[in-house]
Structure 1
Amino acid sequence: MSPPPSKQKNKASFFYALSLGTELGFLIAIPLIIFLLLGLFLDKKFETFPIFLICGILIGLGATFVDVYYLVLPFLEKRSGKRSVDKQ
């Protein structure tokens, strides 16, 4: 016997929120870590500490911002009822 539809919907929305939170965590952490490590590597190679480290952090923050923006954009469009301009 299956649970009532309302419990199934709550369970599905819980797992959707959990997956979205996990995706958001990875979208924030992965670019920052990759560009930070790349900056450290380049600083060691060229002996320019902390120039490439700072550049790597800034590029990682920019990449994180863009990734999070495109993840959140559909929710903002759905909430406002608008469609994206670049989706023709």
Structure 2
Amino acid sequence: MEKDSEKNSEKKNSNSDDRRAAFSAMTLAWELGYMISIPLVALALGGRFLDKKLGTEPFLLLAGVCLAIIISSYMVYKKTTDIINKK
């Protein structure tokens, strides 16, 4: 009987660990998605707005997109190094 309860306990712990790992992976995916999309959308819209206002049509939009790529790349790099250093 004790062996059965130990096996059930191990299965529960295994399921709990699997759920925790899946939730952690989903959380990381959402974080990375937001790290990329928010700067891209904000800086692209800001660049487009300034382009229309100043009459410099594609240049500030492209500058905003390039800046967003740089910012997002740095944020993703920082996040991955934090995760690697935790392990």
Shorter-chain TM-score: what band?
0.7 to 0.9
Structure 2 stretches lacking a partner, 5+ long: 1-8
> Which has the larger share of helix?
2
**Which residue among 37, 50, 67 is the counterpart of 1:42?**
50
Match of 2:56, SS state, is coil
Match of 1:11, SS state, is helix
Aligned residue number for residue 40 of structure 2? 32
Q: Could you tell me how far 1:78 is from its partner in structure 2?
A: 4.4
Q: Distance in 2 between matches of 1:34 and 1:66?
A: 17
Q: Could you tell me how far 1:77 is from its partner in structure 2?
A: 2.9
Q: Distance in 2 between matches of 1:57 and 1:24?
A: 17
**TM-score, length of structure 1 as denominator length:** 0.81
Q: How many residues align?
A: 78
Q: What percent of counterpart residues are identical?
A: 33
Q: Could you tell me how far 1:74 is from its partner in structure 2?
A: 1.8
Q: Could you tell me how far 1:75 is from its partner in structure 2?
A: 2.6
Aligned residue number for residue 84 of structure 2? 76
Q: Distance in 2 between matches of 1:72 and 1:37?
A: 28
Q: How does 1:3-14 map to 2 (within 5 A)?
A: 4-14=12-22
Deviations along 1:21-75, one digit per CA (max 9) or x if unpaired, are 0111111111011000000000000010111011101111111011101111123
**Greater gyration radius:** 2
**TM-score, length of structure 2 as denominator length:** 0.82
RMSD: 1.6
